């Protein structure tokens, strides 16, 4: 991008070019293309259930986001690549206008995968040019939001294509990865004092609006497990008739069991008397040492009760995670799967970031004083604060740099195609 000219002086009200900003923008965009690279045009066009979006749609929607919210309002003279894309690739922004029904994104055969690739390139070039010259201050905030939005869709792309490929009885490999090694340590507990605690984002750096305002909560003394629930513990739950014991289940979860929806974690099957699971690296034997993955909230809650514990609230989880470094098994193209612990756990909670998103007992609701942003971008989080549960910590397909202790992910309690697991908590007798 060095070919673009830089003005000598910066007019009032505009920000100068930030060194490295264009490079970061292109790096995030290039990762999306790297994730799509192993997929054929046919792979990229399939929608295997209403909650899954085609890879092609993810690639186009994240591009539309920059075109709609950055280029349209802030790049003088910019003309959309194709006006029909505003309908095809809007996700849920009512303020923008009508959109393709979510459950029917798979019927968008045109534009083609090749045309989406061209769309991405043309928008990237326009955004890079805008960033490489003086621009209104709000552009940087919108680009930052757009990059984090694209990172969310990078994870969704991998979640969704895993579900797509799992429908194929030949168990296709998305990308061969190294086999996980290590063993899970015996479960131990880490105690935390009760009293007043501050949670929520209140510092510097990027955060979504639903992570604030920072506020005070009261917690009773509690303990939290030093690692996530493992496949071995899920196998023991199953062997003890866990999917057949109504006393362990919430009513809605038991209804899902009775309907046949819940019989084992998603992607597990029993072949020749042994349990196997479908992964992005193909089908593998279930490794009892790995963190359990693809659990619904109902399964996580039932397993916790079977183990004589409960799920942590999101406030408890955040207090436990706040002092831990944000490192772990996050998106690595050579892994793409939860890993067993490979070293003896250090004091405190382990594997708190990465591997699997951890269901909490908390419904997804606004924090005290929450106000959504004005305009269409205000629809990003706030309007989904109903019928969802909070998950924390990131997963093996969450891009590095995208999560933090205050990050609030959310899904309906029946969702299982998420890379979701569980961590136990329990009350402390006083």
Phi and psi angles of residue 376, each rounded to the nearest 5 degrees, phi first: -65, -35
Residue holding tokens 């929806």? 261
| Integer CA distances (angstroms), 399 to 123, 162, 189, 364, in order | 22, 17, 29, 22
Q: What DSSP element (H or E) covers 426?
A: strand 425-427
Two tokens, residue 60? 């186009």
List, for residues 213-255, the tens digit of each pLDDT value: 999 999 999 999 999 999 999 999 999 999 999 999 999 999 9
Contact 418, 295 (CB under 8 A): no
Per DSSP, the three-state class of 199 is strand
- Measured CA to CA, the distance from residue 224 to residue 145 in angstroms comes to 33
Q: Work out the burial of residue 245: count CB atoms within 10 Å of its CB; fewer than 13 is exposed, 13-18 middle, 19 or more buried.
A: middle
In sequence order, the β-bridge partners of residue 278 are: 283
Phi and psi angles of residue 10, each rounded to the nearest 5 degrees, phi first: -100, 120
Residue holding tokens 């100068």? 16
Per DSSP, the three-state class of 285 is strand
Contacts of residue 407, Cβ cutoff 8 Å, sequence gap at least 6: 207, 208, 211, 392, 393, 394
- Measured CA to CA, the distance from residue 91 to residue 102 in angstroms comes to 7
- Measured CA to CA, the distance from residue 222 to residue 298 in angstroms comes to 22
CA dihedral 146→105→36→352, nearest 10 degrees, is 60
| Integer CA distances (angstroms), 380 to 148, 169, 297, 359, 372, in order | 12, 37, 23, 21, 8
Q: In terms of C-beta distances under 8 Å and separation of at least 24 residues, what long-range contacts does 367-370 make, across chains too?
A: 367/200, 367/210, 367/212, 367/213, 367/215, 368/213, 368/215, 369/213, 369/215, 370/209, 370/210, 370/212, 370/213
Q: Which domains does the chain have, with CATH numbers?
A: 21-166 (1.20.120), 189-427 (3.90.1580.10)
- Measured CA to CA, the distance from residue 242 to residue 244 in angstroms comes to 5
Q: How far is CA 187 from the centre of its chain?
A: 26
- Measured CA to CA, the distance from residue 228 to residue 307 in angstroms comes to 13
Phi and psi angles of residue 405, each rounded to the nearest 5 degrees, phi first: -60, -30
Q: Work out the burial of residue 367: count CB atoms within 10 Å of its CB; fewer than 13 is exposed, 13-18 middle, 19 or more buried.
A: middle
- Measured CA to CA, the distance from residue 390 to residue 363 in angstroms comes to 6
| Alpha helices per DSSP H over 265-424 | 297-306, 314-321
- Measured CA to CA, the distance from residue 371 to residue 411 in angstroms comes to 21
List of the chain residues with pLDDT < 50: 1-16
Two tokens, residue 348? 């405190």
- Measured CA to CA, the distance from residue 227 to residue 177 in angstroms comes to 23
List, for residues 3-28, the tens digit of each pLDDT value: 332 233 333 444 445 558 899 999 99
């Amino acid at each position: 991008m060095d070919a673009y000219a830089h003005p000598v002086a910066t007019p009032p009200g505009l920000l100068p070019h930030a060194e490295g900003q264009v490079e970061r923008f292109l790096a995030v965009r290039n990762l999306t293309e790297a994730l799509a690279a192993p997929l054929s045009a046919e792979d990229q066009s399939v929608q295997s259930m209403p909650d899954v979006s085609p890879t092609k749609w993810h690639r186009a929607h994240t591009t539309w986001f920059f075109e709609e919210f950055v280029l349209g309002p802030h790049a003088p003279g910019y003309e959309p690549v194709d006006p029909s894309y505003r309908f095809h690739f809007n996700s849920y922004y009512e303020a923008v206008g009508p959109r393709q029904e979510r459950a029917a994104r798979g019927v968008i055969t045109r534009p083609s995968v090749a045309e989406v690739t061209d769309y991405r390139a043309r928008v990237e070039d326009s955004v890079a040019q805008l960033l490489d010259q003086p621009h209104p201050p709000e552009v940087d905030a919108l680009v930052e939001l757009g990059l984090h939005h694209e990172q969310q869709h990078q994870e969704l792309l991998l979640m969704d294509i895993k579900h797509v490929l799992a429908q194929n009885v030949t168990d296709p490999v998305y990308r061969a990865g190294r086999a996980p090694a290590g063993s899970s340590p015996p479960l131990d507990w880490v105690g935390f004092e009760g009293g007043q605690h501050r949670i929520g984002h209140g510092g510097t750096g990027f955060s979504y609006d639903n992570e604030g305002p920072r506020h005070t909560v009261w917690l009773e003394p509690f303990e939290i497990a030093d690692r996530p629930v493992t496949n071995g513990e899920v196998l023991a739950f199953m062997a003890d008739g866990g999917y057949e014991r109504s006393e362990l289940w919430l009513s809605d979860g038991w209804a899902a069991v009775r309907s046949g929806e819940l019989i084992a974690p998603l992607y597990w099957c029993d072949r020749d008397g042994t349990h196997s699971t479908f992964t992005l690296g193909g089908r593998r034997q279930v490794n009892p040492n790995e963190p359990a993955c693809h659990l619904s909230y109902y399964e996580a809650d039932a397993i916790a009760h079977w183990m004589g514990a409960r799920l942590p609230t999101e406030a408890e989880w955040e207090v436990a995670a706040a002092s831990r470094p944000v490192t772990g098994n996050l998106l690595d193209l050579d892994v793409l799967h939860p890993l067993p612990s490979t070293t003896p756990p250090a004091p405190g909670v382990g594997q708190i970031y990465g591997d699997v998103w951890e269901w909490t007992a908390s419904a997804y609701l606004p924090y005290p004083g929450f106000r959504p942003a004005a305009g269409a971008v205000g629809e990003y989080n706030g309007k989904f604060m109903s019928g969802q549960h909070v998950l924390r910590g990131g997963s093996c397909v969450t891009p590095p740099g995208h999560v933090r202790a205050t990050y609030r992910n959310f899904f309906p309690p029946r969702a299982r195609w998420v890379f979701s697991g569980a961590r136990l908590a329990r009350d402390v007798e006083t």
